[in-house]
Amino acid sequence: MTMNNIGPFKLYLNKPNDICYGSIYTLEVNIPLLYYPKRTVRVFLPEDFDFNQKYPVLFMSDGQNIVDKYTSAFGAWEIDKRQHEFLLEGYKSFIVVGIDCPVRPLERAMEYSFPFIKMNNVEEGRYLKDKNLDFESHLLYEWIARELLPLIHKYFPISDDRKDIGVGGSSMGGVFALSLITYYPDLFGFALSFSPGFFLYNKKDVKNYLDKAMENFDKDHKLYFYSGNVGFESKFLERTKDMFEYFSSKGFDEKHLKLCVDLSGEHCEACWSSHFNDAIKFWED
């Protein structure tokens, strides 16, 4: 039975919407960030949701894009449709928690960045130089770990097992996913990193960050990387391959590390959506 409210979370009933399966609950929150501290958190509950069961949960960047094209900033992943297909194949359902992204691309880039690593190529693509911009990613990650995750645990029946708590995103959101799991490896066990913008960073800086993070990381974590190769997306491929090779060199095997390359893939939600279920199967298997 669908309820109008679950704790402070309200059932999303805005019309028009593009929700075909399951339901979404929203909550307006204040995040301790300099830019756009007021955000919406969107919780997607699957069509077979039952409060008497425990569910895996995937925390995603760009929350307005997870399901509904009418709220999306760039296009929708249509996760409700992907999970419906997933259930028809006999896989377990899961909860998705999306955190809306900042309005301006530059603030989004800094918010989803590796903590305290300068983006050397920030002038590329849609990003602009801004020497006065402050780092925000560590503040977001700390808020997710210390406030949002406990809040979701309080009101929704999610698993307590780290392996069932994942993070995901695309483009700068792909950087967000890897950053968050390496920043809090004790809390998150899976990262879905699609078309991650690693090319915006100096390789040495990223390697130094990861080498230090690996002290608390272990090979039971699961990492799924994806990149296409058409148009703007071609900028992402080589550095995504490099990241896959880095973790391979650290001893991650095929059960815990996967790279998917779609040479016809573009930089868009439709392409990411088409590979979403493969990543979730990798997580659940």
Give the integer Cα–Cα distance in Å for 280 and 93: 10
**Which pLDDT does position 136 carry in this prediction?**
80
pLDDT at 134: 55
Q: DSSP letter at 92?
A: P
pLDDT for 12 equals 96
Encoding tokens for residue 257? 């590390």
Supply the pLDDT for residue 127.
Answer: 44
Q: Provide the residue-wise pLDDT of the chain in tens; the chain has 285 residues.
A: 578 999 999 999 999 898 999 999 999 999 988 888 999 999 999 999 999 999 999 999 999 999 999 998 778 999 999 999 999 999 999 999 999 998 888 888 889 999 988 876 554 444 444 544 556 899 999 999 999 999 999 999 999 999 999 999 999 999 999 999 999 999 999 999 999 999 999 999 999 999 999 888 888 999 999 999 999 999 999 999 999 999 999 999 999 999 999 999 999 999 999 999 999 999 999
pTM for the model stands at 0.94
Residue 161: the pLDDT is 97
CB atoms closer than 10 angstroms to residue 1: 5
Residue 196 contacts residue 177 (beta carbons within 8 Å): yes
In whole angstroms, what is the distance from residue 259 CA to residue 172 CA? Answer: 17
> Cβ–Cβ contacts within 10 Å for residue 126, how many?
11
Distances (CA, A) of 14 to 19, 25, 90, 135, 196: 10, 11, 31, 34, 32
8 Å CB contact between 153 and 233: no
Count of Cβ atoms closer than 10 Å to residue 21 Cβ = 18
Whole-angstrom Cα distance, residue 176 to residue 178?
6
Q: Which domains does the chain have, with CATH numbers?
A: 5-284 (3.40.50.1820)
